[in-house]
Structure 1
Amino acid sequence: MQWFGKGSNNVEDGRSGGGGRTAVGGGIGIIIVVLGLFFGKDLTGLVSQMPLSADNNTEVKQGVPENDAQAKFVSGVLESTEQVWDKEFQALGKQYEQPKLRLFREGVQTACGNASAAVGPFYCPGDHKVYIDLSFYDELKSRFGAAGDFAQAYVIAHEVGHHVQNLLGISEKLDQARGRVSEAEYNRLSVKLELQADFFAGLWAHNAQNLKDFRLDAGDIEEALTAANAIGDDKLQREATGDVKPDSFTHGTSQQRMYWFKKGFETGDIRQGDTFNSNNL
């Protein structure tokens, strides 16, 4: 993909001094358990009851350095999501609140708690921010075999999709179910939430094609589909343990993730993304 815009004004660069403590606690524990399956890691050891009042001495700067190509790419992707979702929310008679995107290194303090870079990219509903340690992109290529700039863009668009869910009140379905349903049912709802974020990522790609500063290259969509395929619960579980346990899925199978991203891309219609009431799961 190619982006010719100036980049988003909503990028915060907190990489200058590391991220302070990397322990996790409070609400972030839920996020880490989910993301552990997303990235094929056992992250339960990162969850703790340590207090969240630790000092974070990282200097946070607005914007990214001109000579940092990867950070500028992330800024451009975020800008394109802003333009797409501004229009989508206008069509819904709503105003889109643009999220912030925080770049960090090693660890970061958030409104959801403290998180290690090991959790991978994530969205915190408490502060409406997307967080990413750019070293994850190296792992996306080496561990998951998902190379290419559009695979990287897909990751950002997916996390922004969670922000959209938060603004539209969709995430509340999962929050309301917490503690009231079985673990298997909670996981089932989590899958629906994640697949909808994949759909929203596809919807972004569809509508971004109409932006004056955006251009898809040959093979871009295949890169996103490769990434979606690589991080399916079934594929990750099979690789990690040799066994697949559907009741423990939290993000969906490879086939489901590719299906919903592709549906979003092909339709560009937000009304087609109701995964909670769909039989295609």
Structure 2
Amino acid sequence: MSSPALGLLSSLVSASLAFSPAAGAGQAGAVPLAAAQRSAPEVRAVQGRAVATANPLYGTSALPSVSCAAGRIRAGSAASYKAFMTRVGHCLGLAWAIQFGKAGLAFSPPEIRFVTSRVSSACGRWPAGAGGYYCSGDRTIYIGVTRAVLKNPYGPNHAQFMAHEYAHHVQQLAGILPYYGRTAWRSAPSAKLALSRRLELQADCLASAFLGVTADDLRVTREHWDAMLEWTTENGHKTWPKNDHGRGDSQAHWMERGFDRRGPAACNTFTAPARLVD
């Protein structure tokens, strides 16, 4: 790992989600964004635990290689950061709309909101330790724009953060996040933490699949990706003392699976052995 890469990675943004049980129990909206969806095959709906363990998304191929000219972030520039993240969000919408079409599922994009303070949402207060979060209650990604964030202009780092939060929206539309909410609500604390780790590690994997197919456009070199994995192994768990996001090496494992295999088929954390999601 090169020393410049290590320096850029030292301020990786932490991602989280805020869950609204009432909103989580609803069905995804149907707003097709791609022609592929209009001719999507109908897939028999899965219910109960199968929505997490045998979701139709797992049967789809790699994410499409959408063009993603997101530009560059200038250190200290909120405008360039917002522009970069907005463009990455648009690319994510294009890719996931096509992927949902392959699975015969309806897709609608989330709202993206940039904030300079820890605002509350339909899901309650800003999650402790998070640089941003996805709220299932209003289907919005909240992204904190702070001095600390703006000091780091390393695009792949921020793209991974955006892709992780977007992955929670993917989980919401696919029914996985509502399943988590219903199940965790009645689970003992240890079981709830185990479910949370499976959910968060899946988001790591789905996010990394997107980075894998857009690596050239987003300037994710193999050297820099390996540096991100090494940093995550050593530090990824430090923001989450309850271990609700998984150990650093577990995070790195699922990031690497997603990046290398580039599709949801690699990201079924809900049937993975406990040792890979601890």
Would the alpha carbon gap of residues 101 and 149 (structure 1) be closer, same or farther in structure 2, given more than 3 Å must change? same
Q: Distance in 1 between matches of 2:263 and 2:257?
A: 9
Letter in 1 for 2:263: D
Q: Which residue of 1 aligns with 2:111?
A: 100
Would the alpha carbon gap of residues 87 and 27 (structure 1) be closer, same or farther in structure 2, given more than 3 Å must change? closer
1:93 Cα offset (Å)? 1.6
Would the alpha carbon gap of residues 112 and 74 (structure 1) be closer, same or farther in structure 2, given more than 3 Å must change? same
Q: Which residue of 1 aligns with 2:236?
A: 232
Select the residue among 201, 221, 228 that pairs with 2:225.
Answer: 221
Q: Distance in 1 between matches of 2:128 and 2:272?
A: 34
Paired-residue identity, %: 26
Select the residue among 84, 88, 96 that pairs with 1:85.
Answer: 96
Q: Which residue of 2 aligns with 1:34?
A: none
Select the residue among 227, 240, 265 that pairs with 1:271.
Answer: 265
Aligned residue runs from structure 1 range 1-281, under 5 A: 68-115=79-126, 119-135=130-146, 138=149, 148-209=154-215, 215-217=219-221, 219-222=223-226, 224-226=228-230, 228-229=232-233, 231-233=235-237, 235-236=238-239, 248-279=242-273, 280-281=276-277
Deviations 1:8-49 (A, max 9, x none): xxxxxxxxxxxxxxxxx9959xxxxxxxxxxxxxxxxxxxxx
TM-score norm. by structure 2 comes to: 0.64
Would the alpha carbon gap of residues 227 and 129 (structure 1) be closer, same or farther in structure 2, given more than 3 Å must change? farther
Contact 1:228/1:258 (8 A) holds in 2: yes
1:185 Cα offset (Å)? 0.9
Letter in 2 for 1:199: C
Deviations 1:59-101 (A, max 9, x none): xxxxxxx982111111121122112212211111223211111
Contact 2:115/2:143 (8 A) holds in 1: yes
Contact 2:105/2:174 (8 A) holds in 1: no
1:112 Cα offset (Å)? 1.4
Would the alpha carbon gap of residues 129 and 202 (structure 1) be closer, same or farther in structure 2, given more than 3 Å must change? same
Runs of 5+ in structure 1 lacking a partner? 1-24, 29-65, 142-146, 241-247
| Secondary structure at 1:132 match in 2 | strand
Q: What is the RMSD computed on CA atoms of the aligned residues?
A: 3.1
| Secondary structure at 1:276 match in 2 | helix
| Secondary structure at 2:176 match in 1 | coil
Higher relative contact order (CA 8 A, sep 6+): 2
Contact 2:205/2:254 (8 A) holds in 1: yes
1:108 Cα offset (Å)? 2.2
| Secondary structure at 1:122 match in 2 | strand
TM-score norm. by structure 1 comes to: 0.63
Q: Distance in 2 between matches of 1:83 and 1:107?
A: 29
Runs of 5+ in structure 2 lacking a partner? 1-17, 22-76
